[in-house]
Amino acid sequence: MIADARIIIVILGFVLLASIGYARIVYLHVFDKDFLQDHGDARTIRMEKISAHRGMITDRMGKPLAVSTPVVSLWANPSELMSVPEKLEFLAMMLEVDFDEFKSKLERNASKNFVYLRRKMSPQKAQLILDLDIKGVYDEREYKRFYPAGEVAAHVVGFTNNSSHIGQEGIELSYDSWLEGQAGKKKVMKNRYGEVIRDVMPLREAQPGHNLQLTIDLRLQYLAYRELKNAINYYQASAGSVVILDVTNGAILSLVNQPSYNPNNRKTLDLKSLRNRTVTDVFEPGSTVKPFTVAVALESGEYTAESTIDTGPGFVKIGTKTIPDPRNFGVLTLGEIIAKSSQVGTTKLALSLNEYDVWNAFSSVGFGKAAGIGFPGEREGYMPNKRRWADIERATFSYGYGFQVTPLQLAAAYQVIASNGVKHSLSLVEGSEMTSETVFSAETSIALKKMLEGVVEGGTGSKAAIAGYSVAGKTGTVRKVAGGEYQDTKHLAFFAGMTPVYKPRLVAVVMIDNPKGDKYGGGAIAAPLFSKIMSEALRLLNVPPDNMDEAA
């Protein structure tokens, strides 16, 4: 009896324990399911970012200037990776890093569960390492920004930072919100080693950024960059810029500068080379604005193209100041004043005009105002706005001193002449709205073009001539200012012009900063550079010759 009772007690005990266990299982699966699921997910379910594709930047022909290419970043769990020390040296070799530094990096981050081994590797190279199946090594799929034109288009396109692809310079910065994509998010299941076992569900799809097409013509960009770089090296100049505009629609076809930089490799980047000098650097335009003073005279109705000014005896005194010409040119027509770049003739002309009319004309062509292309760091330049003007101020203002412009502003002003007196808004992005306003009459502009053609045919800009094409333009040479004083040995040389003259397609400004040697004038070094660039640009754009007699 006692034995039977013991057996019954044991059986009842097992039944009770089984019942308790079953009840616990039922409780956990029914009443505590959400709690357990949440804790289980917290250990295995993770949120992963889905990288978004940044929009592509292209030139006007669709050639890529900035693209995002798929890359792989390798990372590691340091404690896991250090558990296989025999693999470390070989892994460092595959990663192309110093072994001692690599090992030290892992040791410094031993308490963490994440450290990058190598960022933004090519998928093929990263896969070679992943195929080694080294414990603690994982991958992350990303995109890398690449700039096919390199330093040639760097000042226009700019660049993004390496980590989060946020625009830092140029178009990448000014159109960052348009170009950037919106990263997605998904739930994934990972094992205890941090490896993704499977995707659980997408929470937000990645939204790619928008593409952006510029007005830049990459062919002309390469051309202008090559010739500018050669000229800077030849004349041992400090810097230089070239701007090319399409007269027909205000499109900016080329903006190049020297020195430049490689946006694909910024390890040794010199911050001074980041400036897009065509829109950020200002200078006194000198003789290149004399045609606009003449334009005011023609618009006044008191002068015609045949009107003359006596520049004898080769200088003019204003108070205690003497303004000279290189020699006594005698009696000059308005066109000859421009062709010979007579300071005396321009001064006498300006003093006969209303100074506010001259100021308004300079302002109307765009001096003292940003071009409005939305480029970061664009300068407005400087225009004095005086209630009263001294005669010496009126004189120097009329031939380009006492105010400052950018190369882009100077090009925009010459486009007004090329467009028969109509000022078109400039554009750097295709599809931008174009606005227009009349600044000078067509008759005045045509007369100016004829005068500027004389500068090239027999004046200071003869080296700007192009075989088979008519060219109109103006040279300029100014002394640089340092310490509040003009320097006798440091100059800016430039040439602003258009071609063909009577149906202009292109306007360009060439500027060379501080050339060394005996030649430093705009006619000597900027004009021939204009000729080289424009002759090839006209051919690339299939612009028919208009001056076959000259070509012969």
In sequence order, the β-bridge partners of residue 79 are: none
| 241 phi, psi to nearest 5 deg | -145, 150
> Are 58 and 179 in a shared domain?
yes
477 in any annotated domain: yes
Distance between CA atoms of residues 54 and 166, nearest Å: 10
> Are 209 and 227 in a shared domain?
no
pLDDT of residue 7: 73
14 in any annotated domain: no
> Are 245 and 370 in a shared domain?
yes
CA-wise closest residue to 234 among 226, 222, 242: 226
Q: How many CB atoms lie within 10 A of CB 43?
A: 9
pLDDT of residue 486: 80
195 in any annotated domain: yes
> Are 103 and 224 in a shared domain?
no
> Are 135 and 225 in a shared domain?
no
Three state DSSP letters for 426-495: CECECCCCCCEEECCCHHHHHHHHHHHHHHHHHCCCHHHCECEECCEEEEEEEEEEECCEEEEEEEEEEE
pLDDT of residue 73: 86
Range of 121's domain?
48-213
Contact 266, 279 (CB under 8 A): no
Its pTM stands at 0.83
40 in any annotated domain: no
Q: What stretches of 234-307 adopt beta strand conformation (E)?
A: 239-246, 252-258
> Are 104 and 180 in a shared domain?
yes
Distance between CA atoms of residues 354 and 361, nearest Å: 11
Catalytic residues, which ones?
A: 287
Q: How far is CA 190 from CA 75, 84, 201, in A?
A: 15, 21, 13
> Are 204 and 154 in a shared domain?
yes
| 111 phi, psi to nearest 5 deg | -80, -10
Task: Pick out the chain residues at pLDDT < 50.
Answer: 36, 197, 200-201, 551-552
Distance between CA atoms of residues 156 and 267, nearest Å: 20
| 174 phi, psi to nearest 5 deg | -70, -25
Q: Residue 94 gets which letter from DSSP?
A: H
Alpha carbon 366 to chain centroid, angstroms? 21
392 in any annotated domain: yes
User: DSSP states of 344-389 as a string?
Assistant: HHHHHHHHTS-HHHHHHHHHHTTTTS---S--TT----B----SS-
Q: What is the CATH number of the domain that holds 488?
A: 3.40.710.10
pLDDT of residue 187: 56
176 in any annotated domain: yes
> Are 234 and 319 in a shared domain?
yes
User: Do you find a cis peptide bond into 544, omega within 30 degrees of 0?
Assistant: no
> Are 342 and 434 in a shared domain?
yes
446 in any annotated domain: yes
pLDDT of residue 119: 82
Distance between CA atoms of residues 388 and 394, nearest Å: 10
CA-wise closest residue to 75 among 163, 164, 143, 137: 137
Out of 196, 213, 230, a domain closes at 213
10 in any annotated domain: no
> Residue 174: CB partners within 8 Å, gap ≥ 6?
167, 374, 375, 376
> Are 143 and 246 in a shared domain?
no
> Residue 424: CB partners within 8 Å, gap ≥ 6?
249, 250, 415, 434, 435, 436
How many separate domains does the chain show?
A: 2
Q: Is beta strand 212-213 parallel, antiparallel or unpaired with respect to 57-58?
A: parallel
> Are 105 and 229 in a shared domain?
no
> Are 307 and 436 in a shared domain?
yes
Q: How far is CA 185 from CA 199, 208, 507, in A?
A: 11, 13, 49
pLDDT of residue 220: 98
